[in-house]
């Protein structure tokens, strides 16, 4: 294409974008409903459309550059490896796990040291970030590794949170007992959900899980006698060996943490304790998930994602594989729910809306489906960034949405793509020596 033609194309595309966005986004941007009247002017619509048109032209420019660059990349020259050598002479294992390990240890180290420098506020942000790391890791098993799109993941999170709050209210269940209980209950629910959806895949599965998540939320919202409905329910703060982190002991004759150590009361200890425990749980989860990924069950998950029919014909039992993916993911979400409830001290159904599921999905997608370091990074970025950019808070969801669409179009494998160990061609200098 000649330069002049290209320029004409840019101008044409720019105009099309301008007019389309003026027609679609324009009316809503220009006028604002005020009761039965409207206010506003067309200027806003023009500015918005112009910005989008400029963006389109820039994006086209980048695209054409990229395509030009692609043409210059040459294929690997296999002819230099003469046929007499064995395969192991030509190929070698490409190893990425070193970098991943380094990244993970750096994150954990920073996280472990962070409370020394940050105050109470930094701790709360850190707790939120780690809860989302857990949720992201859980959903990553279901969506990223097993390829089962679950849009109702928040249901398991809710089950975890409510099982702690209700367990504490009705049976006096403690924080430490609640963790395995919530994990087990959520896993059970995950299996219950997985059974009927075994035959489905892709879109239908997504809709069924979405419906399931909404059903759980609506039941929590409407069953006033049991869950407290929209008013929510109180969740007790955690305790350590029976020592509570409150100003005065709730139980008659109980000792609190600060009394036991003989120090001044401060709410910081509670956050510090939750943070430390959560960090430990996150570290264990990361370790477990990365091990699982390379075990036969993890390989089966990924194989199932790639081709279910091939898997079944090779003798992989798709029932147990899918059930285990759902159960593992759900139990991690259940644990995250317990931490959420104990950190907030109060839960109600608004925390478990579909938006939450979409946010967790965004974390997994943006990080890179199946990639553990990617999910961790995305979870931290998506929870810490809104705190830093408070003035853009209302655009948060808009940015999530745009990045989800953009990621799918330009970088469908995420920020840090999931890389399996694979064989690659050895550099050719060696063949010259031998």
Partner 1 sequence: MDSHILIQQLANGLVLGSTYGLIAVGYTMVYGIIGMINFAHGDIYMVSAYLTALVLALLGASVSPLVALILAFVLVVGLTAVFGFSIERIAYKPLRKSPRLAPLISAIGVSLILQNYVQITQGARNQAVPTLIPGGLEWNVGGGVVGITWVQVMIIVVSQLAMGALTWMISRTALGRACRATEQDPKMAAILGINTDRIIATVFTLGAAMAAVAGVLVTLNYGSFDFSIGFVTGIKAFTAAVLGGIGSLPGAMIGGLLLGLSESLFSGFVNSDYKDVFAFSLLVLVLIFKPSGLLGRPQVEKV
What are the residues binding partner 1 (CB under 8 A)? 20-21, 23-25, 27-29, 31-33, 35-38, 143, 147, 149, 151, 196-197, 200, 202-204, 206-208, 210-212, 214-215, 218-219, 222, 309, 354-355, 358, 361-362, 365, 369, 394-398, 400-405, 408-409, 412
Residue 408 CB, nearest distance to partner 1 (Å)? 4
Residue 219 CB, nearest distance to partner 1 (Å)? 7
Instruction: Give the C-alpha distances (Å, rounded to integers) separating 361 from 106, 146, 293, 377.
Output: 25, 14, 19, 14
102, with CB counted inside 10 A (0-12, 13-18, 19+), is exposed
Residue 285 CB, nearest distance to partner 1 (Å)? 24
SS3 of 284-317: HHHHHHHHHHHCHHHHHHHHHHHCHHHHHHCCCC
Can you tell me the distance from the alpha carbon of 46 to that of 195, in angstroms, rounded to the nearest whole number? 52
CB count, 10 Å around CB of 302?
17
User: Closer CB to partner 1, residue 31 or residue 176?
Assistant: 31
Residue 410 CB, nearest distance to partner 1 (Å)? 9
**Nearest Cα residue to 374 out of 406, 414, 336, 347:** 414
Can you tell me the distance from the alpha carbon of 67 to that of 187, in angstroms, rounded to the nearest whole number? 47
Q: Return the H-helix or E-strand segment holding 117.
A: helix 97-117
SS3 of 153-213: CHHHHHHHHHHHHHHHHHHCCCHHHHHHHHHHHHHHHHHHHHCCCCCCCCHHHHHHHHHHH
User: Closer CB to partner 1, residue 59 or residue 100?
Assistant: 59
Residue 34 CB, nearest distance to partner 1 (Å)? 8
Residue 368 CB, nearest distance to partner 1 (Å)? 13
Residue 349 CB, nearest distance to partner 1 (Å)? 13
Contact 284, 291 (CB under 8 A): no
User: Closer CB to partner 1, residue 204 or residue 287?
Assistant: 204
Can you tell me the distance from the alpha carbon of 132 to that of 126, in angstroms, rounded to the nearest whole number? 10
Residue 400 CB, nearest distance to partner 1 (Å)? 6
User: Closer CB to partner 1, residue 7 or residue 28?
Assistant: 28
User: Closer CB to partner 1, residue 128 or residue 209?
Assistant: 209
**Nearest Cα residue to 120 out of 265, 277, 271, 257:** 271
Residue 334 CB, nearest distance to partner 1 (Å)? 21
Residue 366 CB, nearest distance to partner 1 (Å)? 10
User: Closer CB to partner 1, residue 173 or residue 416?
Assistant: 416
SS3 of 69-92: HHHHCCCCCHHHCCCCCCHHHHEE
Instruction: Give the C-alpha distances (Å, rounded to integers) separating 364 from 7, 74, 379, 412, 428.
Output: 39, 33, 8, 12, 38
User: Closer CB to partner 1, residue 38 or residue 110?
Assistant: 38
User: Closer CB to partner 1, residue 32 or residue 296?
Assistant: 32
User: Closer CB to partner 1, residue 92 or residue 222?
Assistant: 222
User: Closer CB to partner 1, residue 33 or residue 102?
Assistant: 33
CA 424: distance to chain centroid? 31
């Amino acid at each position: 294409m000649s330069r002049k033609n290209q320029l004409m194309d840019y101008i044409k595309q720019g105009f099309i974008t301008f007019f389309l966005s003026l027609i679609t986004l324009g009316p809503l941007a220009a006028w604002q409903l005020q009761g039965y009247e409207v206010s506003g002017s067309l200027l806003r619509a023009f500015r918005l459309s112009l910005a989008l048109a400029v963006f389109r032209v820039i994006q086209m420019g980048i695209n054409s550059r990229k395509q030009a660059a692609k043409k210059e990349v040459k294929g690997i020259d296999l002819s230099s490896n003469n046929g007499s050598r064995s395969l192991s002479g030509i190929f070698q294992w490409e190893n990425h796990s070193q970098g991943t390990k380094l990244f993970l240890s750096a994150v954990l180290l920073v996280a472990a040291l962070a409370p020394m420098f940050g105050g109470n506020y930094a701790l709360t942000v850190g707790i939120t970030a780690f809860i989302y790391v857990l949720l992201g890791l859980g959903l990553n098993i279901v969506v990223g590794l097993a390829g089962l799109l679950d849009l109702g993941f928040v249901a398991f999170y809710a089950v975890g949170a409510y099982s702690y709050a209700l367990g504490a209210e009705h049976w006096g269940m403690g924080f430490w007992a609640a963790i395995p209980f919530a994990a087990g209950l959520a896993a059970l629910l995950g299996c219950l959900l997985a059974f009927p959806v075994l035959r489905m895949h892709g879109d239908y599965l997504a809709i069924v899980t979405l419906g399931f998540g909404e059903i759980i939320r609506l039941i929590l919202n409407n069953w006033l006698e049991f869950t407290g409905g929209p008013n929510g329910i109180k969740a007790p703060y955690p305790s350590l060996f029976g020592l509570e982190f409150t100003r005065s002991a709730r139980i008659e004759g109980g000792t609190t943490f600060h009394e036991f150590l003989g120090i001044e009361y401060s709410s910081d200890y509670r956050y510090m304790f939750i943070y430390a425990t959560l960090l430990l749980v996150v570290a264990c989860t990361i370790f477990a998930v990365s091990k699982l990924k390379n075990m036969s069950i993890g390989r089966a998950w990924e194989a199932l994602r790639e081709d279910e029919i091939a898997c079944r014909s090779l003798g992989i039992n798709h029932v147990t594989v899918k059930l285990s993916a759902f159960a593992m993911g759900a139990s991690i979400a259940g644990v995250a729910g317990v931490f959420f409830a104990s950190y907030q001290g109060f839960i109600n159904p608004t925390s478990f809306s579909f938006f939450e599921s979409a946010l967790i999905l965004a974390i997994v997608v943006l990080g890179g489906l199946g990639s553990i370091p990617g999910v961790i990074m995305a979870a931290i970025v998506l929870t810490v960034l809104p705190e830093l950019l408070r003035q853009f808070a209302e655009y948060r969801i808009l940015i999530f949405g745009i990045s989800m669409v953009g990621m799918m179009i330009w970088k469908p494998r995420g920020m840090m793509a999931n890389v399996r160990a694979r064989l690659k061609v050895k550099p050719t200098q060696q063949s010259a020596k031998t």
